[in-house]
């Protein structure tokens, strides 16, 4: 009889549970066990233990069922899971679920052989010709959130999901990729008007030129230096390049060499919205390679298919968001983390908490493969590690073809008259001149909606969310007030609930209001708004990007969605309406976020045309983040910021652990942290750490629960961190209803 420690799927406890079996099982094997009230529960084998190591006085149950004949993950991924659970003090079962959630307790499917797939295509060849679909592509007519009304089959949903990320796919590609047995599911979608058929354009179906781009001498040097330093044992690399400097082409050149050795590539992005453009470029650059896309918004069957491809090594390049790091790629030879500064790589709202960038670090260490972190505005921690030699630094200082960074105008709103509180004459003149030159404009605003809040002009009462300690945002198009945290909404009425006067007035501005005002001022211009109301899913975003690419719009108004890594060659003017709107949040990264947003947004201009311009509007033009962003000077911003971080004892010089307690009863929420603090103070041997708080969270109430926070600060020393974590494990009883975030991205959440 063999005895095993197991991790129970979806279990919130930070513990392993012992079971027995007559069979010898390897770590990572999925099994079914009897656990608690649930008779059948998915579990994962962690390690074999001797009988004498089993807990005393407890009946050791036998494993009911073994799902996998052999583990689906390799030893390095198993080690990564165990390390992540330990590093982030997370429930091990929930970390295993990050890998296996697409399969659950189902056995792994056997992929269709390529020969069989080809027979399917050949069998349908005649009917393809008859239906006239052979040289056509498909356009999805309805938004994804409306498709539920169509009562689509699972195959139908898979086809729609596939077309979102491969919009230029023809019928043969759909059949091959989704392993359809016939074209009937596609024909059904056409019959029901979910899909329409469109002939291919004559410009290589909208794809970029598949020929290699000739690298500049600066780009070539980075490729050479990368492989040289990798041969010398350097695994971690930071590619810092100004916006539009050709970082993607450097990635591609390095990827080409890795692929030639029959190794695989994991290319990670922070946002799903960035994938369509990158997919087109990647397919054009590597036409003979199998490219897969993975993220949490795919349908379950699509995620299962990509997982199966990964296990069977049927993927050459995997493009994905943070969840893609958990797909087991046996031949993985390189990881690229683009836009590495982006906070979307951190999962902190859901358990288990983890930072995909740190997980990537560990995976590369386990596999002994290189990783490239790339950004025009690297995180302060990453650039510090590169400047101190922990990572290899590569720098792109110039845009190709002699293109320059755009001219930046820093407008002080406190000294210049504005229209409707957010438009200056310089902005209006800039829009006119840009459109006359046949260029496009992008205008960034901080929030979606029409007005940030609604207040009474008589008594000053502000309408707040009943579930959260925030004001409701006015959405004029739908005529309602909404909470952007919990989703609560109510109709907008002019009568004040406090004084009964008809005097409620919208204040502030969002993307909806900016769009309306510009349409009034420029009635002949084609204006599009892009935010989560207009583009709630990837499909709608892809439509918006195509409208911009096809020059069917003059002005784009949007939220942060339009600032991230997008490449539109005709954008000549970028306007940032409220450049300092994040600057004064009580968080030590507020200045970094402000600089990054301004610099990233500025980089959307002048990527293929000269004489581009950026207009920054703010009330704080002399603050460091805005002043250095005006000069496109990241190095000076970093030098200024790193001094402040050291003076304030913040990362990278200190490490932070954030504790959050939340409860419908505010007293209970606070008391949990007070009890934890009291216990930790007794065990704080030789002042290992500093305790800050507990205090009310920045937003005290969210979704009906009152929130309190507490911070631990400690030296950035592995031995100290290990001792602190040991103390926290001893206090597990206090932590059962408290969330722990190791190295939080935000100290206000």
Instruction: Give the tens place of pLDDT for each residue, 514-531.
Output: 999 999 999 999 999 988
Closest by CA position to 241, among listed 343, 403, 378:
378
pLDDT level of residue 136 (50, 70, 90 thresholds): low
Average pLDDT, stretch 596-623?
A: 87
pLDDT of residue 746: 87
Average pLDDT, the chain: 87
Does the pLDDT of residue 209 top 50, yes or no?
no
Q: How far is CA 335 from CA 9, 323, 363, 370, in A?
A: 28, 14, 9, 7
pLDDT of residue 149: 55
Average pLDDT, stretch 45-63?
A: 92
CB 322 within 8 A of CB 358: no
Give Cβ neighbours of residue 647 (< 8 Å, ≥ 6 apart).
none
pLDDT of residue 623: 93
pLDDT digits (tens, 9 = 90+) for 231-261: 999 999 999 998 888 999 999 999 999 999 9
pLDDT digits (tens, 9 = 90+) for 465-506: 999 999 999 998 889 999 988 889 999 999 999 999 999 998
Does the pLDDT of residue 134 top 50, yes or no?
no
Average pLDDT, stretch 50-69?
A: 91
pLDDT of residue 496: 93
Antiparallel, parallel or unpaired: β 317-320 and 291-294 = parallel
Q: How far is CA 129 from CA 171, 197, 505, in A?
A: 11, 14, 61
Percent of the chain topping pLDDT 70: 91
Of 402 and 596, the structure prediction assigns the larger pLDDT to 596
Angstrom distance (rounded) from CA 527 to CA 516: 9
pLDDT of residue 319: 96
Most confident of 285-289, 314-318, 564-568: 314-318
Q: Name the residue with tokens 């008007």.
A: 193
pLDDT level of residue 420 (50, 70, 90 thresholds): confident
pLDDT level of residue 154 (50, 70, 90 thresholds): confident
pLDDT of residue 271: 82
Does the pLDDT of residue 85 top 90, yes or no?
yes
Does the pLDDT of residue 210 top 80, yes or no?
no
DSSP, res 51: G
Q: How far is CA 667 from CA 339, 383, 465, 670, in A?
A: 41, 42, 21, 5
Angstrom distance (rounded) from CA 31 to CA 64: 7
Angstrom distance (rounded) from CA 661 to CA 656: 17
Angstrom distance (rounded) from CA 123 to CA 183: 11
Cβ atoms within 10 Å of 344's Cβ, excluding its own: 15
Average pLDDT, stretch 277-304?
A: 88
């Amino acid at each position: 009889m063999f005895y095993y420690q197991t991790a129970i799927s979806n279990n919130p406890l930070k513990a392993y549970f012992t079971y027995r079996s007559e069979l010898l099982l390897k770590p990572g094997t999925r099994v079914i066990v009897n656990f608690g009230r649930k008779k059948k529960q998915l579990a994962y084998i962690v390690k074999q233990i001797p009988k004498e190591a089993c807990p005393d006085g407890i009946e050791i149950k036998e494993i009911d069922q073994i799902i996998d004949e052999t583990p689906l993950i390799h030893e390095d991924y198993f080690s990564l899971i165990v390390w992540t659970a330990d590093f982030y003090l997370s429930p091990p079962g929930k970390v295993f679920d990050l890998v296996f959630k697409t399969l659950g307790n189902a056995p792994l499917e056997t992929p269709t052989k390529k020969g069989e797939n080809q027979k399917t295509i050949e069998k349908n060849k005649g009917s393809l010709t008859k239906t006239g679909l052979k040289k056509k592509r498909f356009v999805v007519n309805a938004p994804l959130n409306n498709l539920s009304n169509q009562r689509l089959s699972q195959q139908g949903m898979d086809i729609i999901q596939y077309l979102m990320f491969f919009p230029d796919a023809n019928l043969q590609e759909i059949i091959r990729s989704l392993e359809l047995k016939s074209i009937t599911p596609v024909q059904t979608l056409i019959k029901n008007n979910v899909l329409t058929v469109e002939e291919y354009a004559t410009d290589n179906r909208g794809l970029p030129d598949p020929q290699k781009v000739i690298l500049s001498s600066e780009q070539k040097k980075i490729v050479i230096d990368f492989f040289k330093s990798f041969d010398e044992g350097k695994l971690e690399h930071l590619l810092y390049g100004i916006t539009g400097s050709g970082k993607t082409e450097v990635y591609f050149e390095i990827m080409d060499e890795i692929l030639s050795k029959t190794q695989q590539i994991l290319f990670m992005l922070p946002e799903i919205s960035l994938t369509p453009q990158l997919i087109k470029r990647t397919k054009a650059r590597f036409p003979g390679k199998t490219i897969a896309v993975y993220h949490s918004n795919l349908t379950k069957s699509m995620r299962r298919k990509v997982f199966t491809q990964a296990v069977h090594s049927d993927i050459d390049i995997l493009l994905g968001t943070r969840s893609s790091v958990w797909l087991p790629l046996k031949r993985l030879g390189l990881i690229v983390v683009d836009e590495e500064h982006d906070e979307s790589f951190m999962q902190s709202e859901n358990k288990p908490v983890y930072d995909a960038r740190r997980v990537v670090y560990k995976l590369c260490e386990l596999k002994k493969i290189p990783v490239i972190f790339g950004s025009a505005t690297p995180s302060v921690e990453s650039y510090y590690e590169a400047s101190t030699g922990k990572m290899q630094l590569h720098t792109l200082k110039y845009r190709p073809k002699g293109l320059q960074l755009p001219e930046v105008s820093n407008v002080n709103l406190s000294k210049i008259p504005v229209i409707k509180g957010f438009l200056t004459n310089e902005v209006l003149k800039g829009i006119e001149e840009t459109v006359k030159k046949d260029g496009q404009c992008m205008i960034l605003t901080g929030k979606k909606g029409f007005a940030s809040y609604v207040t009474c002009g008589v008594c000053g009462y502000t309408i707040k969310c009943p579930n959260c300690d925030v004001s409701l945002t006015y959405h004029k198009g739908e005529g309602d007030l909404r909470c952007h945290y919990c989703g609560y909404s109510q109709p907008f009425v002019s009568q004040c609930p406090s004084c009964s006067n008809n005097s409620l007035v919208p204040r502030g501005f969002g993307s909806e209001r900016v769009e309306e005002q510009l349409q009034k001022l420029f009635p002949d211009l084609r204006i599009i708004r892009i935010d989560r109301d207009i583009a709630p899913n990837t499909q709608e975003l892809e439509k918006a990007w195509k409208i911009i690419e096809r020059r069917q719009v003059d002005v784009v108004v949007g939220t942060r969605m339009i600032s991230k890594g997008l490449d539109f060659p005709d954008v000549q003017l970028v306007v940032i309406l409220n450049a300092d709107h994040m600057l004064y949040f009580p968080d030590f990264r507020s200045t970094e976020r402000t600089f990054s947003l301004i610099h990233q947004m500025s980089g959307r201009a002048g990527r293929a045309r000269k004489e581009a311009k950026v207009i920054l509007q703010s009330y704080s033009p002399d603050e460091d983040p805005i002043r250095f962003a005006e000069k496109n000077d990241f190095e000076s911003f970093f030098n200024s910021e790193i001094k402040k971080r050291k003076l304030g004892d913040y990362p990278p010089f200190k490490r932070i652990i954030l504790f959050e307690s939340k409860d419908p009863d505010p007293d209970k929420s606070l008391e949990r942290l007070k009890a934890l603090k009291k216990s930790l103070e007794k065990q704080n041997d030789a002042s290992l750490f500093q305790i800050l708080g507990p205090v009310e969270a920045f937003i005290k109430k969210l979704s009906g629960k009152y929130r309190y926070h507490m911070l631990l600060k400690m030296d950035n020393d592995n031995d100290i961190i290990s001792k602190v974590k040991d103390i926290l494990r001893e206090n597990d009883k206090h932590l059962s209803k408290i969330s722990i975030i190791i190295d939080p991205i935000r100290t206000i959440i």
